[in-house]
Amino acid sequence: MPATRRGKPIYQRGDFRLYRRADRANLEIVWYDEERKRERSASAGTSDDRQARLELDRLYNEATGHRYCPTCGRAYEGDASPLLSRAITDYLLKSEEKAGYKATRSRLGHVIDYLTATDPGITCPQVTPEWVDRFRAWLMARPIPIGKTGKVRQRSLSHVEGCVLQLAAAINDTPGQSAQFKPIQAKDVAASPQYRADVPMIAAMFRYCLERDGTEKEKARRLKDRSSLLAYLRAAVATWARPEEIYDLGPGQWFAAAQVLNLNTPGRRQTRKYRGTIPIPPQFAPFLDGLTGPYLPAAPRSSWDKMRNAIGLPLERGQAGSKLIRRSMATLVRRRIGEANWRQGEMMLGHVKASISDIYAIPDPANLGLALAATTAIIGEIEGLVSGAFSLPHRTFTAEPVEAD
C-alpha cells in the first residue's frame, strides 16, 4: 500500500519540517538524515505550535553545529559561536506573538541588510562596540524614501539607536551569549520637538480637509483624497492618542453607554507605551457609534505631508509630524486646567495608569472630567472657526466652563 503523501509543513527550517498528525496530539518533526541516507522523524513533545517550532529550531541548530546544554542553555565548549543572522532569526521567531513585533522586525531588518552588505558570517561574539559604531554610520548614511515622490529624508539618531537596542536584545536572548556593547539611552539621542499648534492652526488643518473651492469634480476628488486625514484629525483632537492607537482603532473599544473609549484593542497585550481608557467628547461620539470595521480607512501619511506644506506648518524633521496634535492638545489643556489637575492630562496621554475600575466613573470631574471638558471646549472653538469640522448635521454641542481647583 503506497505511503500517504504529507501535506505542506506548518513550519520549515532547512531540511527540518514540522507537521501535525491526525492520529497524534503532539506535533512531529521530520528531516532527512544524510549519514543514514533516510528520512527520520521525532515528536516535538508538545501540541503547541510555538513550542514545537522552538524544538525544531533546537534540532536544526544541533544538526548545523550550534549545540546548547538543555539544562543551562549555554553553548558546549569547543562548539562554534552562533551566527548573528541565526540569533536574529530565532529572536524574531520567539517574538511573533508579542506586541510591537512589526517594529522589532523592521529594526532588525536593517541589521540583516548590513550583514548582507558586509559579512553574513559574523558571529554574536564578533559584534563589538566598534562593529556597532560602523553599523550606526552605515545606517545614518542611508536616507529614508518619502513615498513614491523620489525625495528622501535624513534618518534620526533615535531611530538608529532603536535598531541597536533591538540588536542587543536579540543577542542577549541567545543562549550563552551577551551583548558586548551598550546602546545609547533614548533621552541622549532624541530631539524633542518644540513646536505646538494653537487652536487657529488646528482649525486650519480641518479647513484644508473641508475646502469647498473649485468645481464639483475637484471638491469630490479632494474629499476622497483627504477623508482619512479628516478622520485622523477628529480622533487625534478628541482622544490625544498616539498615531498608532488611532490606526488600530476599531470595534470592541467604544463603550457608548459610558461614553468611554479603550485605546487598547481587544486581545492586545499592554506594553510600556500604555494605552488607557478615556472619556470621549460628545462631538466625536457619533463617529464611533455603530463602528463595525477599522475607524481609519488608511494611514494619512502622504496627505499629512501635503497639508503641512499647504498651511505653513514647520518643515523641520519631527517638528510637525502626525503626533503634533497629541502634543498640542496636551499643551492647550494643561494651560486650561492648571498644574494641580494635570494628572488628568497624564492619564489621557497614557503616561499614568488610571486607578478607576468602574468605566462609568472615568468622565467624572474628579477623575478625567476636567480634561474632558477642556477638550470639548477646544473642539467647540474649532467648530466655530471651521463649520463641519466635527458636528454632524443638525447637532450642536456645548461645553461647561472648566474651573481649575
What confidence tens digit (pLDDT) does each residue in 213-255 have? 767 777 777 777 788 999 999 999 999 999 999 999 999 999 9
Grid cell of 28 as nine digits: 512531529
Task: Using alpha carbons only, give the angle 42, 86, 84 rounded to the nearest 5 degrees.
Answer: 155
Query: For cell 559561536, what's the residue?
Result: 81
Query: For cell 510600556, what's the residue?
Result: 272
Predicted pLDDT at 164: 94
Predicted pLDDT at 317: 61
Please give the Cα distance from 211 to 224 (Å, whole number).
12
Q: Which CATH class is domain 77-191?
A: mainly alpha
pLDDT band at 4 (very low <50, low <70, confident <90, very high): low
pLDDT band at 2 (very low <50, low <70, confident <90, very high): very low
Nearest CA to 264 out of 277, 251, 255, 281 is that of 277
Better-predicted residue by pLDDT, 156 or 80: 156
Interhelix angle 342-349/324-337, rounded to 10 degrees, is 160
Please give the Cα distance from 190 to 156 (Å, whole number).
8
Q: How large is the average pLDDT for residues 107-131?
A: 90
Share of the chain above pLDDT 90, in %: 41
Structural domain spans, the chain:
1-64, 77-191, 199-385
Q: Is 123 helix (H, G, I), strand (E, B) or coil?
A: strand
Give the pLDDT confidence of 270-325 residue by residue, as tens digits. Answer: 888 899 999 999 999 999 998 899 999 888 888 898 899 899 998 776 788 889 99
Q: How large is the average pLDDT for residues 358-381?
A: 91
User: Contacts from 36-44 at CB under 8 Å and sequence distance 24+?
Assistant: 44/18
pLDDT above 80 for 130 = yes
Predicted pLDDT at 364: 84
Maximum pairwise Cα distance, the chain: 85
Q: How large is the average pLDDT for residues 49-53?
A: 80
Give the pTM. 0.61
pLDDT band at 78 (very low <50, low <70, confident <90, very high): very low
pLDDT above 70 for 189 = no
pLDDT band at 396 (very low <50, low <70, confident <90, very high): very low
pLDDT above 50 for 393 = no
Q: Which of 202-216, 315-329, 388-402 has the lowest mean pLDDT?
A: 388-402
Q: How large is the average pLDDT for residues 38-45?
A: 88
Predicted pLDDT at 246: 95
Please give the Cα distance from 336 to 117 (Å, whole number).
54
Predicted pLDDT at 111: 92
pLDDT above 80 for 266 = yes
- 332 burial (CB, 10 Å; 0-12 / 13-18 / 19+) is buried
Q: At a CB cut-off of 8 Å and minimum separation 6, what does 268 contact?
A: 99, 248, 275
- 149 burial (CB, 10 Å; 0-12 / 13-18 / 19+) is exposed
Q: What are phi and psi of 379, to 5 degrees?
A: -60, -40
Task: Using alpha carbons only, give the angle 188, 162, 92 rounded to the nearest 5 degrees.
Answer: 155
Q: How large is the average pLDDT for residues 362-384?
A: 92
pLDDT above 80 for 257 = yes
> Can you list the alpha helix ranges (DSSP code H) found in 35-82?
49-63
Nearest CA to 402 out of 380, 382, 387 is that of 380
Whether 326 and 263 have beta carbons less than 8 Å apart is answered as: no
- 402 burial (CB, 10 Å; 0-12 / 13-18 / 19+) is buried
Instruction: Report the range out of 138-147, 192-201, 356-365 with the highest average pLDDT.
Output: 192-201
Average pLDDT taken over every residue of the chain: 84
Q: Which CATH class is domain 199-385?
A: mainly alpha
